[in-house]
Amino acid sequence: MDRSRVRKNAGLWQEYYDDQARTEYYYNVDTAESQFQPPPDFLLDWIETKEQENTLESESISGRTGGPWEEFTLVRPHVFTDNVRQEKSEAREKYNNEHSDEAPFPLSDTEEDTDPIVYYRHFERNELRVQEPEDFKEQHRMGSLRSSGRVLPRRQVNGRIELMDSRTGNIFYFDRQDRIYSWDKPIGFDDVWLDAAFDQDGGKSLVTRSKKKKDIGFQNSGSDAEEGNGGGAQVTGGWGMYVDPDTETSFYYHSGRKMLQASLPPADAHGMDQPPSALGNVGRALAQGKMDNQQVKAIPPPEIEAALSLVDVPAALMTKLARVQRERVPYEERRTHLRVRQINTGSICKYFVVVFLTTFLLFSLPLCVFFSFVVG
């Protein structure tokens, strides 16, 4: 090791360069082990060591940015100290002066003519990597597209920006907090946007500037009071589908209830007061005939009425139970049917056996008489 110089110090492992053999090898200061292949994660350990020594930033040049990751390039990746650089420069100059007619001072595959060392740093966690992070190129491409000047911002919700490429019309999103681009719309993005519009002026400005596409259905929705008891205040109106011309976003607005929604449940989409359900208040509403203004006429049979009174069951299910109750076959009667079927099956088998034996005798007896006559 007297003729070798330390080039990279990564804690337990150090990279040495042999000037005479013009190659590098790795030495473990704890076990005194030497090898030509770099240990696993050697470059990362070396970069983290330079970070702890506060020399990494001064020897690095920033490059591309891909989402939350920033790319850096080491200026002097193969020189550990200035003394090593100076000694190598003096040796190169001396060699060239003494061998002016020969080939220039040779460089090994790991000298300054090799590819630079690139590493990546996370802006928030300050994490270091030597391998390119996943989706780094795509994040860099989307960031470059945003800074190209042809991308227009459309909506901003809770630190997330909706962007549109004016040339292609493609929509993508940027999270300012995490610095991540995405082609997929964040979950709940439209809902939060509509809530902000409603908090501003009840959604009036949004509905006014938007174009109505179609009416989903108008209906009267009152209180849950029984008919004939005065009832409550009637609210007239229904859902309508609108499109915001500024953002080309579809939403739904109820003119009676003054509500904004990004999507409709199946009940509202089909113009129902209450959707069918098997339990709870919704099922009770169906049983009372509050769907499509139709009264339920089916009544459960007396034998199961007491059991059904303890549970909220929709009328449609009660009707089906009543039909099954009327059409079902008692178990004892079914067992009798099976027993009769078994008896009939046994009789048929006996009949076929008798027919087979009779046919055999009728054909075999004349043959026996004929053969006896010929032989005699």
pLDDT tens digit sequence for 299-345: 555 655 666 566 666 666 666 666 555 444 444 444 444 454 555 55
pLDDT score of 356: 81
How many CB atoms within 10 Å of residue 237? Answer: 17
The residue ranking higher by pLDDT, 293 or 262, is 262
pLDDT score of 116: 78
Q: Is 122 helix (H, G, I), strand (E, B) or coil?
A: strand
pLDDT score of 298: 47
Cβ within 8 Å of residue 24, ≥6 positions away? 7, 15, 16, 17, 18, 36, 108, 110
Asked whether the predicted pLDDT for residue 233 surpasses 70, the reply is: no
Average pLDDT over residues 208-236: 60
Which DSSP letter does residue 331 get? H
Q: Please, which contacts does 129-132 make with residues 24 or more away whose CB atoms are closer than 8 Å?
A: 129/44, 129/69, 130/43, 130/44, 130/47
Cβ within 8 Å of residue 74, ≥6 positions away? 59, 60, 116, 117, 118, 119
pLDDT score of 104: 55
- In the chain, what percentage of residues exceed pLDDT 90? 28
How do strand 34-35 and strand 23-28 relate by DSSP bridges? Answer: antiparallel
Q: How far apart are CA 158 and CA 195, in angstroms?
A: 12
Q: How far apart are CA 252 and CA 207, in angstroms?
A: 9
pLDDT tens digit sequence for 6-26: 888 888 898 888 877 778 889
pLDDT score of 138: 94
pLDDT averaged over the chain? 75
Highest mean pLDDT among 39-43, 69-73, 221-225: 69-73
Q: Do 175 and 164 form a contact (C-beta atoms < 8 A)?
A: no
The residue ranking higher by pLDDT, 310 or 51, is 51
pLDDT score of 153: 92
How many CB atoms within 10 Å of residue 278? Answer: 13
The residue ranking higher by pLDDT, 344 or 361, is 361
Stretch among 34-43, 96-105, 249-258 having the lowest mean pLDDT: 96-105
pLDDT score of 256: 84
Tell me the β-bridge partners of 254.
Answer: 239, 259
Stretch among 224-228, 259-263, 287-291, 292-296 having the lowest mean pLDDT: 224-228
Stretch among 153-157, 249-253, 313-317 having the lowest mean pLDDT: 313-317
pLDDT score of 139: 95
Q: What is the dihedral of CA 221, 222, 223, 224, to 10 degrees?
A: -60
